[in-house]
Structure 1
Amino acid sequence: MATGLLALLDDISALVKVSAASLDDVPTQVAKTTGKVSGIVIDDTAVTPKYVVGLDPSRELSIIYQIAKKSLLNKLLLLSPAALILGFFAPWAIPPILMLGGAYLCFEGYEKVHSMFATHHADTPQSAGDDLKVITPEELEKTRVKSAVRTDLILSGEIVAITYATVADKPLVSQIAVMLAVAIFITIAVYGFVGLVVKADDIGLHMAKENHHHRVRAIGHGIVKFMPHFLSILGYVGTAAMLWVGAEIIAHGIPFTSHALHELEVALANVPALAWLAKAFVCAIGGLILGGVIEKVVVAARKLF
């Protein structure tokens, strides 16, 4: 009996040591994973501010908090457990799911580009019998939050899947710890920055008040003037990131295109910045073309059904 108890204690001690060793590697794995999902993080950060445009400024932080909360819950309670279960029972299903998410990003990115350059014609006047739908600010807020959470769910799914792929060969304890850490860190970083961006004009207005030093007022005026341009640039960056991230995810799932991207990086290895820009540009163009094809298929399917 005593011998069996000692053996059990030895097993527990060994398990604790292995778990501790695995947890020691967590910060390294988190840093490695964060680097791999940087494109998706940029996309998420750039896309989110548009969901509060035109709403009551006093509600901006509340709306961002709602989106961030649902994003974190989705990562922790839905996506991470799903990735672990799929990784254990059906690891073959993860790449196709990633590629489907990438296709959705390309489709969304193409629609954004199309809306930027399409010629908008005046709508035909409505007849007297047509009803106009009136939406309240509360309903608009709920609609915006739902739309933001839906887009974030796709991006979060990509982040979680890439995170799992990075730690798939690690012990289960390490997998769980890294996925939780990445989910919390990225959510706080993304939505903390988004909150700062959408309230920057208010900060600038506060700094520009007469009771502040003239240099502080000058900085405040500069922030107020710069933010509209910054938000516009951020929107373009978000669209580009959506296309390049989506296409790169799909490319890595196809041996031929994955090999071609690798060859491109090797060819420009002496200039890392140029290699990154070339890969991002090629992926963005590929994503735009693929998004256009998907859009045509979606339109045809809508007409058919």
Structure 2
Amino acid sequence: MATGLLALLDDVSALVKVSAASLDDVPAQVSKTTGKVSGIVIDDTAVTPKYVVGLDPSRELSIIFQIAKKSLINKVVLLSPAALILGFFAPWAIPPILMLGGAFLCFEGYEKVHSMFARHHADEHNTQGEDLKVITPEELEKTRIKSAVRTDLILSAEIVAITYATVADKPLATQIAVMLAVAVFITVAVYGFVGLIVKADDIGLHMAKENHHQRIRAIGQGIVKFMPHFLSILGYVGTAAMLWVGAEIIAHNIPFTSHALHNLEEALAHLPALAWLAKVLVSAVGGLILGAIIEKIVVAVRKLF
């Protein structure tokens, strides 16, 4: 009886040691995964501020908190368990899902680029006597939140899928720990930074008040003047990141294109920064072309139905 108890304790001790060793790997895996999803994070950060533009400034942080809360729930309660279950029962489905998500990012990126060049024409079209629906600020806020959460759900699905693909060969405890850590870290980082962005002009206005030192007032005025330009730049960066990440996800799941990207990096290995820039540019251009093709297909399907 004593021998059996000792053997059981030895087994428990070994299991604890294995679990502890696997959990020690969590920070490294979180860091690795965060780097892989950086493009999606940039896009998520760049897209979100537009959902609070034109709303009551006193409601901005509340709206961002609601979006962040629903984003975290989607990642932790819906997407992460779904990825774990799918990875256990149908691991072959992960790459196609990643590629579908990548194709959607390319499509969205192309739509954004197209809208940049077609904006003037669209503005003229919208002024030709169209009836506008009048809604209350509360309804507008709810609509914006729903739209933001819908967009975030797609980007979050990509983040979770990439995270799972990174730790698919790790023990279950490591998979769960890494996916939860990435979900919390990215959600807090993205929406914390978004909150800072949308309130930066208010901070600048407060610093520019007469009761502050002249240097502080100058900094505040500079922030107020700089923020519109910063938001524009962030929008361009987000669009480029969407194309780059979408195309790279697809490329890495196709042997020919994966080898081509790898060969490009090897050819410029002596210049790491140039190698990274070349890969990003090639991926972004490829994503733009793929997005244009998908857009034509979508238009054709819409016409048919």
TM range (shorter): over 0.9
Aligned to 2:159: 159
What is the CA-CA distance between 1:241 and the residue it aligns to?
Answer: 0.7
CA distance in 2, matches of 1:124, 1:204: 34
Name structure 2 gaps, 5 residues minimum.
none
Aligned to 2:53: 53
What is the CA-CA distance between 1:7 and the residue it aligns to?
Answer: 2.0
Q: Where in structure 2 are the equivalents of 1:4-15 lying within 5 Å?
A: 4-15=4-15
Aligned to 2:282: 282
Q: Deviations over 1:253-279 (max 9, x none)?
A: 111111111111111111111111111
Aligned to 2:304: 304
Q: Where in structure 2 are the equivalents of 1:259-278 lying within 5 Å?
A: 259-278=259-278
Aligned to 2:147: 147
What is the CA-CA distance between 1:115 and the residue it aligns to?
Answer: 0.8
Q: What is the SS of the residue equivalent to 2:249?
A: helix
Q: Where in structure 2 are the equivalents of 1:1-305 lying within 5 Å?
A: 1-118=1-118, 119-120=121-122, 121-123=124-126, 125-126=128-129, 132-305=132-305
Q: Which amino acid aligns with 2:165?
A: A
CA distance in 2, matches of 1:151, 1:158: 11
What is the CA-CA distance between 1:25 and the residue it aligns to?
Answer: 1.3
Cα gap change, 1:116 to 1:29, in 2 (>3 Å): same
Q: Which amino acid aligns with 1:138?
A: E
| Alignment length (residue pairs) | 302
Q: Deviations over 1:148-205 (max 9, x none)?
A: 1111111111111111111111111111111111111111111111100110000000
Q: Which amino acid aligns with 1:206?
A: H
TM-score normalised by length of structure 2: 0.96
Q: What is the SS of the residue equivalent to 1:199?
A: helix
CA distance in 1, matches of 2:79, 2:173: 17
Q: What is the SS of the residue equivalent to 2:270?
A: coil
Q: Deviations over 1:272-304 (max 9, x none)?
A: 111111111111111111111111111111111
Q: What is the SS of the residue equivalent to 2:134?
A: coil
What is the CA-CA distance between 1:5 and the residue it aligns to?
Answer: 2.5
What is the CA-CA distance between 1:124 and the residue it aligns to?
Answer: 7.2
Identity percentage of aligned residues: 87
CA distance in 1, matches of 2:173, 2:76: 15
Cα gap change, 1:54 to 1:132, in 2 (>3 Å): closer
Q: Which amino acid aligns with 1:83?
A: A
CA distance in 1, matches of 2:88, 2:125: 54
CA distance in 2, matches of 1:195, 1:44: 13
What is the CA-CA distance between 1:123 and the residue it aligns to?
Answer: 4.3
CA distance in 2, matches of 1:233, 1:203: 20
Q: What is the SS of the residue equivalent to 1:133?
A: coil
Cα gap change, 1:32 to 1:215, in 2 (>3 Å): same
What is the CA-CA distance between 1:133 and the residue it aligns to?
Answer: 2.1
Cα gap change, 1:204 to 1:114, in 2 (>3 Å): same
What is the CA-CA distance between 1:75 and the residue it aligns to?
Answer: 0.7
What is the CA-CA distance between 1:145 and the residue it aligns to?
Answer: 1.2
